[in-house]
């Protein structure tokens, strides 16, 4: 299953009621997690009016547990890491801006919780350094999130093939943190193997909101969940074998070997005496060459399907 994270961020504008409304809506839309902005000082107090107070975050976390949806947040300092760890959160999301904040990554790694690392603005070397720090501090549970840190990200700069590059280079799960307008890039990311999609989410768009152009509304988030599930199912397991029901179709659509004209018992079979057409319940056309040179045990009318027991020396 491809996990969907609804990134609420600060779209609740500091209101617990709005945050709870977003949480419930994300759950109703089929999101696996909702992510909220946590911005605290060392005293664990909000740095700005758009941030929720610690007590509100506790209530929001409790409601998320009751709803069976993961509560996620992105810490920007050690104190916030410790606070979120105490709730506890199921995982930590590291913002692209902190990919090179190696002390913060080390502190998060020490919690032992899964880490989702956004990779906006980075190159392969910087991503490698971030992974190494997490591993060096005992944390192997890492998911990378391909990301382009432009709001909005033009589709021609989304560079979704980097998902494959990250997976191939680091052999880790790779998701996609989206900043484009619409759902198309997210769905393409799933087709490329993304294991997780993060999409900005807002029930109401405000003029001064930095993600006002890229945030999905409830209808769009529902559509994204449905699209993700359809594509994930359509991808299958990658094994090239007949699918359920195809064998029956093959019996109708495949070709078998038939007599091209009336044939006599003992007649030597040559290519000009045979033809191939539907159905595929006789000797397969793929074995046409194996019939050549054999003789018939019996007379055959024109356009008769051949079977192996009609041939001598088989």
Nearest to 19 by CA among 41, 42, 1, 46: 46
What averages of pLDDT result for each successive group of 10 residues across the chain (314 residues)?
94 89 98 87 52 91 98 95 97 98 98 99 99 99 99 98 99 99 98 98 84 94 99 96 96 98 98 98 98 98 98 92
Instruction: Give residue 148's pLDDT.
Output: 99
Handedness of CA 28, 49, 205, 118 (dihedral sign): negative
CATH of 246-310, one of 3.90.1210.10, 3.40.50.720, 3.30.70.890, 3.90.1150.10: 3.90.1210.10
Q: In this predicted model, what pLDDT tens digit does every residue of 156-173 receive, in sequence order?
A: 999 999 999 999 999 999
Instruction: Give residue 43's pLDDT.
Output: 45
In contact, 306 and 259? CB cutoff 8 Å? yes
- CATH of region 3-235: 3.20.20.70
Instruction: Give residue 49's pLDDT.
Output: 57
Instruction: Give residue 212's pLDDT.
Output: 85
Query: Hey, which bits of the chain come out as E strands?
Result: 3-9, 33-37, 70-74, 92-94, 115-118, 142-147, 174-177, 196-200, 256-259, 274-277
Q: Which two tokens stand for residue 299?
A: 């007379």
Q: Which residues pair with 256 in a beta bridge?
A: 277, 284
Instruction: Give residue 40's pLDDT.
Output: 59
Distance CA 261, CA 269 (A): 11
Domain chopping of the chain, boundaries: 3-235, 246-310
């Amino acid at each position: 299953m491809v996990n969907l994270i609804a990134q609420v961020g600060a779209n609740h504008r500091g209101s617990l009621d709005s945050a709870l409304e977003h949480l419930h809506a994300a759950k109703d839309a089929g999101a696996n997690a909702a992510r909220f902005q946590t911005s605290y000082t060392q005293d664990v107090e909000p740095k700005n009016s758009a941030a929720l107070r610690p007590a509100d975050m506790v209530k929001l976390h409790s409601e998320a547990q009751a709803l069976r949806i993961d509560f996620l947040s992105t810490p920007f300092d050690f104190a916030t890491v410790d606070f979120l760890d105490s709730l506890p959160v199921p995982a930590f999301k590291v913002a692209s801006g902190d990919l090179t904040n190696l002390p913060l990554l080390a502190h998060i790694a020490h919690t032992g919780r899964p880490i989702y690392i956004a990779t906006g603005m980075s190159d392969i070397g910087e991503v490698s350094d971030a992974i190494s720090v997490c591993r060096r501090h005992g944390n192997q549970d890492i998911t990378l999130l391909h990301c382009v840190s432009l709001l909005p990200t033009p589709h021609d700069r989304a560079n979704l093939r980097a998902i494959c590059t990250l997976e191939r280079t680091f052999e880790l799960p790779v998701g996609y943190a989206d900043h484009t307008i619409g759902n198309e890039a997210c769905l393409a990311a799933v087709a490329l193997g993304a294991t997780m999609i993060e999409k900005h989410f807002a029930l109401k768009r405000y003029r001064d909101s930095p993600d006002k152009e890229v945030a999905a509304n409830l209808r769009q988030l529902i559509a994204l969940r449905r699209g993700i599930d359809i594509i994930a199912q359509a991808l299958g397991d990658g094994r090239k074998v007949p699918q359920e029901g195809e064998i029956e179709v093959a019996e109708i659509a495949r070709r078998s070997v038939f007599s091209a004209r009336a044939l006599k018992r003992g007649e030597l079979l040559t290519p000009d005496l045979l033809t191939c057409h539907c159905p595929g319940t006789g000797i397969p056309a793929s074995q046409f060459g194996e019939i050549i040179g054999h003789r018939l045990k019996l007379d055959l009318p024109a356009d008769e399907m051949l079977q192996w027991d009609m041939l001598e020396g088989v």
